[in-house]
A = this chain, B = another copy of it.
Amino acid sequence: MSHDASTADLFGIAPTVPSVAGQRFTAKLSRLLIADGEGFATRDVERLEVTLDGVPGDRHEGVARPADSRVPWYPRGAPIRNSRQVTILAPDELDEIARRLGVAQVKPEWIGSNMVLEGIPRLTQLPPGTRLHFPGGAALAVEAENMPCRHAGKAVGAFYPDMEGMDVAFVKAAKGLRGVVAWVERAGEIVAGCEVSIRVPAQRIWVR
């Protein structure tokens, strides 16, 4: 981490604006899944051929999507570009959600996961613009942190019928741990178990 002299006027007296250079490393795609059934439950597949529209047959496929409650500044249903084609989760973050909820586990396939990636600490905090490159040539771009919703919480609650209020509890417990959503930058085949090359862009805190 370094300090960017060109932004030294930001905070008045002797401010420091942190920045970091781009980072590259590899992670492992431990599971690959598709939401092609009821609701947003997903099931494992060995391989997927993603396109610029996303995952063929997946409920989040599409170059556009209707605006929903996640983007309340747009009229409900207005077509917007779909930057939420792929849902990515990390096993250590799911474990932490389960711990906070006091349950044995929260499985990725319960809450719409398309990919489980191992080897990325604090996956949910990966910056927007991070690229994921797959051996077959496919590439994804991280849109943003996935904000937990009550629908996912309800899906988790269905596996713990003795617990009440899981929908609301999940929203709180999963904050900052629910992974990221991404869009397909380049089409190609993705195979479960493969290595994924991660490129995190240079970062710099911007303050007006």
A residues apposed to B, CB below 8 Å: 1, 6-7, 11, 18-20, 23, 25, 52, 63-64, 67, 73-75, 78-81, 83, 120-122, 125-129, 133, 137, 139, 141, 143-144, 176, 183-187, 200-201, 203-208
**Are the C-beta atoms of A129 and B144 separated by less than 8 Å?**
yes
Name the distance in Å between A133's Cβ and chain B's nearest Cβ: 7
**Are the C-beta atoms of B74 and A206 separated by less than 8 Å?**
no
Residues of chain B with a CB closer than 8 A to A83's CB: 141, 185
**Are the C-beta atoms of B139 and A74 separated by less than 8 Å?**
yes
A122-B10 Cα distance, complex, nearest whole Å: 10
Given known A-B contacts A187-B79, A203-B206, A206-B200, A143 and B125 have beta carbons under 8 A apart: no
Q: Which of B25, B52, B122, B125 contacts A63 (CB 8 A)?
A: B52
- State how many copies of this chain the complex holds: 2
A-B pairs with beta carbons under 8 Å apart, 18 shown: A6-B176, A18-B18, A18-B205, A52-B79, A67-B186, A74-B186, A79-B187, A80-B139, A80-B185, A80-B186, A121-B208, A122-B206, A126-B206, A128-B129, A128-B201, A129-B129, A200-B206, A200-B208
Residues of chain B with a CB closer than 8 A to A79's CB: 52, 186-187
Name the distance in Å between A145's Cβ and chain B's nearest Cβ: 9
**Are the C-beta atoms of B128 and A206 separated by less than 8 Å?**
no
A183-B128 Cα distance, complex, nearest whole Å: 14
Q: Which of B19, B73, B128 contacts A133 (CB 8 A)?
A: B73
Name the distance in Å between A25's Cβ and chain B's nearest Cβ: 6
**Are the C-beta atoms of A122 and B7 separated by less than 8 Å?**
yes
Given known A-B contacts A127-B128, A128-B129, A129-B128, A208 and B25 have beta carbons under 8 A apart: yes
Name the distance in Å between A13's Cβ and chain B's nearest Cβ: 14
Name the distance in Å between A18's Cβ and chain B's nearest Cβ: 5
Residues of chain B with a CB closer than 8 A to A185's CB: 80-81, 83
A64-B205 Cα distance, complex, nearest whole Å: 30
